[in-house]
Amino acid sequence: PPVRGLRGSPRARSAMPSWVIDRYGRNDVLRFTRDMVFPTIHFPNEVIIKVHAASLNPIDLSMRSGYGATALNMKRDPLKIKSTETEFPLTLGRDVSGVIMECGLSVSYFKPGDEVWAAIPPWKQGTLSEFVVASGNEVSFKPKCLSHTEAASLPYVGLTAWSAVNQVGGLNKSNCGGKRVLILGASGGVGTFAVQLLKAWGAHVTAVCSHDASTLMKKLGADDVIDYKSGNLEEQLKTLPLFDFILDNVGGSTEKWALDLLKKWSGATYVTLVTPFLINMDKLGVADGMLQTGVTVGSKTVKHLFKGVHYRWAFFMPSGPSLDEIAELVDSGKIQPVIDQVFSFSEVPKAFLKLEGGHARGKTVIDVISKK
C-alpha cells in the first residue's frame, strides 16, 4: 500500500536556478547556478512557494560578508549533527511574494495556487531562487491591491518595524492617537514603513532623514521632517516638545543623547534596531556572546529606568499573523510600498551594489520571473 509520508516536490524536480554564495566576502562571491538543490518539504507545516519577486535588505549585505554566521549556524544545526561549513551554498534574500506550489500534510490554511507573501528568517535558505520553503506560520495572503513586485518590498521591513513598534514598544491602533513619535533614519525600508504605520494609528510623527528625502517623508504623512545634515541634529531636536516613543534605525552615537528627548516618568520608550547581539556571538562565541549581550542590555535598561524612561532592543520576527494585519492596512490604502529600483533576476549582483551604495529611498526589488 502507498505510504502516507511527506510529499515529493512538484514534478519531482531536483534542481533550480538560484543566486548563491560559497564563501563570505564582497560582491564577487555571488554566483548564479541552475543546479541549486530543489527545496523539499521536511515538516508537515511547510509550504513551497514559487518566487515571483524578492527584495534586498541591509541584512543581505551583512550576511554576504559573514555577519551573524556563528548565531545563524547554531540555529541551523543546534545539535551539531552536520559537519562544519554546512551553510554553503547559501541563498540570500529574505522577502518573497509568489504562489504556493505545494503544502505539507498539516497545512490547511493555504492551497496550491494561492498568492502569498512572507519574510523568511535568516537561518533558512533565502528567496533569490526560483522556489523557497517556508513554514505555514511565516506566510500570509498577499495584499490584493499589490503586484508581486510591490508586495515583495514589504514583509521583512514591515515585520521589523512591527516588532519594534508593536511587540516591543507596545503601541497599537488603540493607544497611539496623539502620541509624539520620533523616527531616526526614516527614509530606509523600515523607516518608510514605520512612518506610515504610526500615522495610520494616529500618532504625530517626526522623521529624521537627509534633505533629499523630505518630500517622500511628507508624502508618507510625517508631520515634521528634520534634515540631519543641516546643523547639529541633537540641538535641532531639543527645540521640539518631548517624545513618547523613539524608533532608532541609526544607532551609534545617537543612543548617547536620544533618550534625553523622551518624556520622563510617563512610560516613554526608546527602541533601537541596532544591537550588538550577533556581533558579540561572532566575536566571543555563542555562550560568551550571549552573556555579554545580556549584561549590555540589562545594564542599559536599568540605567535608563532610573532616569524614568524605557530602553529596549528589537529584532525582526517572522510572523504570518502580523503580515495578515499589515496586509489589511495595505489593502485599506494606509500603507504603500516605497520602491527605489527594480532589477531583473539576472541583475542580482547589480542590485547588491545599488544597496551597498546606500542612500536608497525605499526598497531594492528583484523581479525573479522576468526573463531578462
pLDDT tens digits along 266-305: 999 999 999 878 787 888 888 888 888 888 888 998 999 9
* Residue 77: band (very low, low, confident or very high) from pLDDT cuts 50, 70, 90: confident
Burial (Cβ within 10 Å: 0-12, 13-18, ≥19) of residue 256: exposed
Residue 213's Cβ-side half-sphere holds a number of Cα atoms within 13 Å equal to: 29
Fold of 15-154+338-367: Quinone Oxidoreductase; Chain A, domain 1 (3.90.180)
Q: Which three cell numbers stand for residue 109?
A: 490554511
Of all residues in the chain, the percent with pLDDT exceeding 70 is: 95
- The continuous run of DSSP H or E covering 324 comes out as helix 320-331
| pLDDT at residue 358 greater than cutoff 90 | no
- What pLDDT score does 103 carry? 98
Distance between CA atoms of 329 and 337, rounded to whole angstroms?
A: 11
In sequence order, which residues have a C-beta less than 8 Å from that of residue 269 and are 6 or more positions away? Answer: 169, 170, 244, 245, 246, 262, 309, 310, 311, 312
- What pLDDT score does 8 carry? 47
Residue 325's Cβ-side half-sphere holds a number of Cα atoms within 13 Å equal to: 14
Q: Which three cell numbers stand for residue 21?
A: 554564495
Residues 222-249 have pLDDT tens digits of: 999 999 998 899 999 999 999 999 999 9
- The continuous run of DSSP H or E covering 355 comes out as helix 348-356
Domain spans, the chain: 15-154+338-367, 169-313
CATH code given to domain 169-313: 3.40.50.720
What are residue 227's DSSP bridge partners?
209
Residue 192, SS3 per DSSP: helix
| pLDDT at residue 99 greater than cutoff 50 | yes
Q: What is the pTM of this model?
A: 0.94
* Residue 12: band (very low, low, confident or very high) from pLDDT cuts 50, 70, 90: low
Average pLDDT over residues 104-114: 97
